[in-house]
Structure 1
């Protein structure tokens, strides 16, 4: 066996593999013996078919299979042992590859085109200025979060006079043109409404300060701008029929229900942050603000990585790539999409590849490694962040562990978690090495940058 690599230019090479009979014969003989043990032919007991017949039937396919296996192993071992920085997969050479005939040949020569990564140096220093956005945590954000906690512990009370956002329950009856209850008209007992959701302000005003047992006249069609779904839900008829109902209705108020938020007390403090961690409203608001700020750090770090990419891409400049060869690799990987897809997406793929190579160097320079514990902890942090979006900050450890275990059962989830671990560690390592251009920004303006 002989393997050699000939550089064509700085970013491409020709890999030649020569195989002799001694390299593969033992493996072929072993494969044929295995075929013989399983072969069943009329006139012969299982496993007793003459080897000459086995070779005649399976010899060529066994030779081709074992040569291809050995070839694949040899190519990848050479690349690994010699640390060849290859891009994509080796591709059979289209010009110089000799014809292969498994019927007559005992020695084989295979030629592969290899795309090599360009040589360059990606380094960061204090001279590199990268924007870092500090997202402002406003009192309104804290108030809204505190309100959401009190609402969870709220209750519904029966009241006598309607106010905005209250819920009404009563008898709904269709009226005729004279304002009397229409004979055979629509009637709904226990009809539930929230007038604050009506689209028409004049209709909404009819219910202002309504009391239990009041009888009010309004027009549902006008109130909800003829929305068939809203009308069908209220009138308990199908959408097509509801869209045609334009008459007035009487509504006798039987019940008024109001949601009353819970008190901001020790029970809520303990639910959110754990027993005894917070003891006053001031401490609670401070911890809520801290929790919101912590969530924003992840967003700021994500934007930092985007801006670091831009800085590094400009710093490294345009790299040389074996374009024709990489287009062949891309086409081989997207054969169903064709050459047009390759032409339309090649520049973008090169941009992504450039950043990938830069990131690889930064990861290596900062000795970033991913351990199993890192992946598990990232799964837990991802779960914790999802709960935090709904205001659940004191999530039990056993629940986090269970969610993490489910995530780690899926291969695509693991790949995503590994990438997040790498990027999180990379951000933590690079931030102190560059000059951060801090910029205070509102959450709304920050989100606009991603629109």
Structure 2
């Protein structure tokens, strides 16, 4: 067996693997013996089939299989042992690869084109100035979050007079041209109506200050601007029938329900933060503000990495790549999309590859490692963020653990979490090495940066 590598230029080379019969024959013989023991061929007892027949039936395929296995092992081992930074998979050389015939040949030569990553140095220093945006947590954000907590503890009260956002319940009935209940017309008992959701202000105004037992006349088609789903739901009719439903309807108010938010008290403080963590509304609002700010940190780090990427890409400059070979690899991985796809997307793929190589180098230089504990913590943090969206700032540890373990059951989740850990650690490392230009911006200003 002989494996050799020849540099064609700085970013490509030829890897040649020569296999002799002795390199694979032992494995072939072992495989054929296994086939012989298992083969069930008419006229022969199990395990007694002549080896000559077994070789005739399976010899070629077994040789091909074992040669390919040995070849793959040798290519992988050579790349690993010689620290070749290979891009993509080795491809058979289109000119120098000899034709292979497993029927007649015992010695084989394989010649592969190898794409190599370009050599460069990626690093930052305190001479590199990068913006770091902290999203301002406004009183309005805190107010809205506190309101969400009180609404979770709210209740519905029966009232006598309608106000905006109240819910009405009653009998709805279709009217004829004379304003009388239409015989055979649409009627819905216990119909639920929220005038505040109507599209037409004039129709909405009909319900102002309505009282229990009032009978009001309105036009659903006008009120909801002909919106099929809302009208069909209210009148319990098919969507297809909505277009022809132009009638006025009477609505007899039977019940008015109003949502009353809960009081901001110790019960809510304990529900959100844990028992006796805070005692006053002022302390509670401080904790809520801290929680919102904490949720924004990952957004700020994400934007920082985008800006750091731009700085690093400019410092590294345009790298040399084996374009022809990489295009072959790209085409091989996108056969169904064809050469046009490769032509249109190659430059973008090279940009992403360049950043991948830069990031890979930075991760190594900063000795960033991902441990199992990091992945579990990231899974728990992701779970905390989800619960926080629903107003739960304190989640029991056993609940976090259970959610984290469920996430880790899927490979795609694990891959995503590992990537998030790497980026979080990389952002932390780079922030300590560059000169940060700290800026506080509003949420609106921050979001506009991504438009």
Question: TM over 0.5: same fold?
Answer: yes
| Structure 1 residue 174, shift from structure 2 partner | 2.7
Contact 1:227 1:243 in 2 (8 A): no
1:33-432 equivalent positions in 2, closer than 5 A: 33-432=33-432
For residues 148-167 of structure 1, the C-alpha deviation after alignment (integer angstroms, 9 at most, x for no partner) is 00000000011111111111
Q: When the two structures are superposed, what TM-score results if normalisation uses the length of structure 2?
A: 0.97
Contact 1:213 1:253 in 2 (8 A): yes
| Structure 1 residue 437, shift from structure 2 partner | 1.7
For residues 191-248 of structure 1, the C-alpha deviation after alignment (integer angstroms, 9 at most, x for no partner) is 2211111111111112111122222222222222222322222222223333323232
For residues 338-374 of structure 1, the C-alpha deviation after alignment (integer angstroms, 9 at most, x for no partner) is 1111111111110110000000111011100011111
Report the CA distance shift for 1:196/1:45 in structure 2 as closer, same or farther (over 3 A): same
Distance 1:186 1:120 in 2: 76
| Structure 1 residue 320, shift from structure 2 partner | 0.1
Distance 1:3 1:423 in 2: 38
Contact 1:231 1:243 in 2 (8 A): no
Distance 1:182 1:387 in 2: 51
Distance 2:376 2:329 in 1: 35
Larger deviation, residues 401-410 vs 33-42: 33-42
Report the CA distance shift for 1:171/1:366 in structure 2 as closer, same or farther (over 3 A): same
Larger deviation, residues 148-157 vs 228-237: 228-237
Distance 1:249 1:351 in 2: 63
Distance 2:86 2:106 in 1: 30
Distance 2:33 2:250 in 1: 92
Report the CA distance shift for 1:105/1:217 in structure 2 as closer, same or farther (over 3 A): closer
Report the CA distance shift for 1:98/1:191 in structure 2 as closer, same or farther (over 3 A): closer
| Structure 1 residue 176, shift from structure 2 partner | 2.9
For residues 259-311 of structure 1, the C-alpha deviation after alignment (integer angstroms, 9 at most, x for no partner) is 00000000000010111111100000000000000001110001111111111
For residues 45-83 of structure 1, the C-alpha deviation after alignment (integer angstroms, 9 at most, x for no partner) is 111122222222222222221111101100000100111
Distance 1:221 1:18 in 2: 81
Q: Secondary structure at the match of 1:243?
A: helix
* RMSD after superposition: 1.4
Larger deviation, residues 138-147 vs 18-27: 18-27
For residues 117-162 of structure 1, the C-alpha deviation after alignment (integer angstroms, 9 at most, x for no partner) is 0000001111111121111110000000000000000000111111
Contact 1:235 1:242 in 2 (8 A): no
Contact 1:156 1:258 in 2 (8 A): yes
Larger deviation, residues 60-69 vs 220-229: 220-229
Q: When the two structures are superposed, what TM-score results if normalisation uses the length of structure 1?
A: 0.97
Distance 2:65 2:49 in 1: 21
Q: Secondary structure at the match of 2:100?
A: coil
Distance 1:146 1:386 in 2: 17
Report the CA distance shift for 1:54/1:234 in structure 2 as closer, same or farther (over 3 A): closer
Distance 1:48 1:371 in 2: 53
Q: Secondary structure at the match of 1:14?
A: strand
Partner of 1:10: 10
Distance 1:375 1:232 in 2: 48
Distance 2:374 2:30 in 1: 44
Report the CA distance shift for 1:228/1:107 in structure 2 as closer, same or farther (over 3 A): closer
In the alignment, structure 1 segments of 5+ residues that lack a partner are: none
Query: Paired residues, what number?
Result: 451
Q: Secondary structure at the match of 1:345?
A: helix
Distance 1:250 1:19 in 2: 91
Q: Secondary structure at the match of 1:75?
A: helix
Distance 2:288 2:348 in 1: 42
Distance 1:242 1:99 in 2: 72
Distance 1:221 1:106 in 2: 84
| Structure 1 residue 37, shift from structure 2 partner | 1.1
Distance 2:260 2:267 in 1: 17
